[in-house]
Structure 1
Amino acid sequence: MSTVDPADFARAMARVPTPVTVVTTVDPGGRRWGFTASSFSSLSLDPTLVLVCPARTASCHDAFVSADRFLVNVLASGQAGVAGAFARPGADKFTQSPMEPREFGLPGLADATARIACALHDVLDGGDHSILVGRVEAVWTSDAEPLVYYNRLFTRPGGSPALASSA
């Protein structure tokens, strides 16, 4: 059992810059699902794997842990509004979003920094989150500057604030 205060841990982790992604999938009934994640990382080059971690309490959790495929949209610096919209619980996140079918027909952003299309490889226990391990099947990249989450603010790699701030 940890003796670290969760609030102290959260403050420490806020000091670690992370990429901002919106992860999407489509369920067998055709419903689109998505969430904002800063818990995204490469995992392996051989085989090519990434990981992303949805909260177990998220309404989209079950859709993702049972998905065949998912798409990681690495957001560009001007896409803080998209990140904020997909971070909110409740409403249909796709109604006002610029998402359109991309790799494997999954919802994606044409002007993202990168898109990484994955087949679900494994789902692992991550405490109050699940760890989705994706086997990378397709990638797309651009020269767009990425959006970064640091100290509870959306920012740019150089530290200047992005167009919209906190989540």
Structure 2
Amino acid sequence: MIDPNTYKEVMASFPSGVTVVTTLDADRQIVGITASAFSALSLDPALVLFCPNYTSNTYPLLVKNKQFAIHLLAGEMQPHAFAFASKDKEKARLHEWELSELGNPLLKGATAIIECSLWREYEGGDHAIIVGEVQNLILPQEPVVPMIYHKGKMGALPAFC
């Protein structure tokens, strides 16, 4: 049997980017989750995946709506990451957003945004594996420093020298 604490410590040793995945609730307000379990999957068709916890209050809306936006967070977006990681039903109220042409809520300031439709969902233990088919890609006009998650901390990726 694998010790859960050791497993978490080992996984925390792998630096990853930080994303916020957003969709709309029944009142057409933004909801979302923070996910570091994110990856590109396929180029043809263009697919990405992320893994929300089944206990997330946003998870059922992502599946029901069948569309979402994945924001690759910039280093200064820690307040977004912490807010969307919470169970607070009002977690998005302080964050500026706009509706895309595809109907997804978009946060400002991300290093990139990937708009997706739900392609498949798979079981993954205590998390779902959500595969999104890429519908639109958004890059900022100016380069933005990305956020990383490592050993339980989030921050801007230092410059490579």
What is the TM-score normalised by the length of structure 2?
0.91
Q: Give 2:135's aligned residue.
A: 137
Looking at structure 2, the residues matched to 32 and 108 of structure 1 have their Cα atoms a distance apart, in angstroms, of 9
Which of 78, 102, 106 aligns to 1:80? It is 78
- Tell me by how many angstroms 1:6 deviates: 1.1
RMSD of aligned alpha carbons: 1.5
Looking at structure 1, the residues matched to 10 and 156 of structure 2 have their Cα atoms a distance apart, in angstroms, of 20
Looking at structure 2, the residues matched to 16 and 58 of structure 1 have their Cα atoms a distance apart, in angstroms, of 23
- Per mean C-alpha deviation after superposition, the further-off stretch among 85-94 and 37-46 is 85-94
Counting aligned pairs with the same residue, the percent is: 38
Q: Secondary structure at the match of 1:71?
A: strand
* Structure 1 residues 1-167: aligned runs within 5 Å: 3-27=1-25, 30-142=28-140, 143-158=143-158
- Tell me by how many angstroms 1:64 deviates: 1.2
Count residues with an aligned counterpart. 157
Residue deviations 1:33-63, cap 9 Å, x none? 2011111110011110000111001111111
- Tell me by how many angstroms 1:10 deviates: 0.3
Q: Does the C-alpha gap of structure 1 residues 146 and 134 become closer, same or farther in structure 2, counting only changes over 3 Å?
A: same
Residues 120 and 134 in structure 1, CA contact (< 8 A), matched pair in contact too:
yes
What is the TM-score normalised by the length of structure 1?
0.88
- Tell me by how many angstroms 1:100 deviates: 2.0
Q: Which amino acid in the other structure matches residue 146 of structure 2?
A: P
Q: Secondary structure at the match of 1:112?
A: coil
Q: Which amino acid in the other structure matches residue 150 of structure 1?
A: H
- Tell me by how many angstroms 1:156 deviates: 2.3
Q: Give 1:164's aligned residue.
A: none
Please, which runs of 5 or more residues in structure 2 have no aligned partner? none
Q: Secondary structure at the match of 2:102?
A: helix
Residues 67 and 118 in structure 2, CA contact (< 8 A), matched pair in contact too:
yes
Looking at structure 2, the residues matched to 7 and 78 of structure 1 have their Cα atoms a distance apart, in angstroms, of 29
Residues 17 and 150 in structure 1, CA contact (< 8 A), matched pair in contact too:
yes
